[in-house]
């Protein structure tokens, strides 16, 4: 029985030990810049482009890879802007310390603002959990520009 318990703990423990919780500070939600190609022409919009920006703090002392950003965004009536979706984007790799981020969101047109952002958190891993893409392959050029 002890051998089975040890085997289960060895199989289940690595995933928990690889996971890293990251702190998220200074979160702001603002319309995308006018020059952003993600914006749709006036009169044809089915969604509006918003940028969720802030800083992610990796206090683990080790790089965190494959980090995701989670948040709940509510409209002026308290309804979720992105129903059934807590993951709002990927942060990619996060080095130790503070790092700025920007994630582009498509909010359905006509959603009444102002918006409230809450329950913001980030989580990643200390080892890759999927096939690694090339440098900045997963982020659009505009998302890279928004983070700088």
**What are the tens digits of pLDDT across the range 54-81?**
999 999 999 999 899 999 999 999 999 9
Domains and CATH numbers, the chain: 18-147 (2.60.40.10)
Looking at the chain, how many residues does it have?
A: 148
> Percentage of the chain surpassing pLDDT 90?
47
What is the C-alpha separation between 129 and 33, in angstroms, rounded? 33
Instruction: Give the pLDDT score at 126.
Output: 84
Query: Where does the pLDDT of residue 10 fall: very low under 50, low under 70, confident under 90, or very high at 90 and above?
Result: very low
In sequence order, the 6+-apart residues with CB closer than 8 A to the CB of 128 are: 65, 66
Contact present, 143 and 69 (Cβ < 8 Å): no
Question: In this predicted structure, which of 26-40, 77-91, 105-119, 126-140 has the lowest mean pLDDT?
Answer: 126-140
**pTM here?**
0.72
pLDDT tens digits, one per residue of 98-124: 999 999 998 988 899 899 999 999 999
Query: Where does the pLDDT of residue 40 fall: very low under 50, low under 70, confident under 90, or very high at 90 and above?
Result: low
pLDDT tens digits, one per residue of 16-33: 456 899 999 999 999 988
């Amino acid at each position: 029985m002890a051998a089975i318990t040890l085997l289960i703990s060895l199989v289940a423990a690595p995933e928990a030990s690889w996971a890293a919780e990251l702190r998220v500070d200074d979160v702001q939600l603002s319309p995308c810049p006018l020059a952003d190609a993600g914006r749709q022409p006036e009169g044809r919009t089915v969604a509006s482009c918003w940028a969720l920006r802030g800083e992610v703090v990796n206090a683990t002392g080790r790089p965190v890879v494959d980090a995701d950003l989670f948040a709940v965004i509510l409209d002026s009536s308290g309804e979720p802007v992105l129903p059934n979706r807590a993951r709002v984007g990927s942060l990619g790799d996060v080095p130790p310390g503070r790092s700025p981020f920007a994630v582009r969101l498509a909010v359905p047109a006509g959603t009444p603002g102002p918006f409230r952002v809450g329950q913001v958190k980030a989580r990643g891993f200390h080892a890759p959990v999927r096939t690694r893409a090339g440098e900045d392959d997963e982020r659009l050029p505009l998302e890279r520009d928004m983070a700088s």
